[in-house]
A = this chain, B = another copy of it.
Amino acid sequence: MEKKEISRAVIKRLPRYYRYLGDLKAQGVERISSGDLSSLMKVTASQIRQDLNNFGGFGQQGYGYNVNYLFNEIGKILGLDCKNNMIVVGVGNMGSALIKYSSFRSYGCDIIGAFDTNINLIGKTINGIVVQDYSEVGHFIKEHNVDIAVLTVPKEAAGHIAEELVKYGIKGFWNFAYTDLRLGPGIVVENVHLSDSLLRLSYSMKSKGVVND
């Protein structure tokens, strides 16, 4: 496939295409026109064509999109054919909840370890994962080829821990700590800032404008 720069806005929309196509596939739909996909997703047909053209354009005039093919291609673009080993660092409420999700596995992202400094948590088993002492994390990352850390630690600790994890070889962070990580180039950070989301909701409730992706 032709390698070209894809805008951040398009990348942000890809998971949503992937989800709708997955739902269509599950319903047994084999092909769909950009028009039908448009009314389903509440996005203009022209935007759909434009977005999907970024990836070579899988639509055919008069036929529409092959759902299964497009689903698989977007999956590949999203990197779901790569396996990413993940560890959870910080096994509080959010950390535990994420360990319990098994649906992430279908995205090629597998939680294989969990770490905390709290001796009351170390040794506990959550969804088959034994919580280990954080002091073991460096060894574990090297041993198990871990790519991604799910960072669910208090914001005060997050920056320092993230820097440490980068030294141990972590290349990407799914960051739930309510702070912006400042790491070197080449380190990927995807933030989930729940408080920001709640503040947007609060704003929308007050102003009654829908803020929604």
* A interface, CB within 8 angstroms of B: 8, 11-12, 14-16, 18-19, 42, 77-80, 82, 84, 93-94, 96-97, 100-101, 103-104, 107-109, 147-148, 171-172, 174, 178, 180, 186-213
- A114 CB to closest chain B CB (Å) equals 14
Q: What 10 A-B pairs come out closest when comparing CB atoms?
A: A79-B206, A15-B196, A190-B201, A15-B199, A93-B97, A97-B97, A79-B202, A188-B204, A93-B100, A78-B203
Whether A205 pairs with B15 at a CB distance below 8 angstroms is no
- The residue of chain B having its C-beta at the shortest distance from the C-beta of A100 within the complex is B93
Whether A84 pairs with B11 at a CB distance below 8 angstroms is no
Residues of B within 8 A of A171 (CB): 205
Whether B104 pairs with A11 at a CB distance below 8 angstroms is no
Whether B19 pairs with A200 at a CB distance below 8 angstroms is no
Q: A202 with B93: in contact, given A188-B210, A191-B213, A208-B188 (CB under 8 Å)? A: no
The CA of A201 and the CA of B42, in the complex, are separated in Å by 25
The CA of A172 and the CA of B178, in the complex, are separated in Å by 23
- The residue of chain B having its C-beta at the shortest distance from the C-beta of A23 within the complex is B179
- A186 CB to closest chain B CB (Å) equals 6
Whether A109 pairs with B148 at a CB distance below 8 angstroms is no
Q: A79 with B178: in contact, given A190-B200, A211-B8, A212-B189 (CB under 8 Å)? A: no
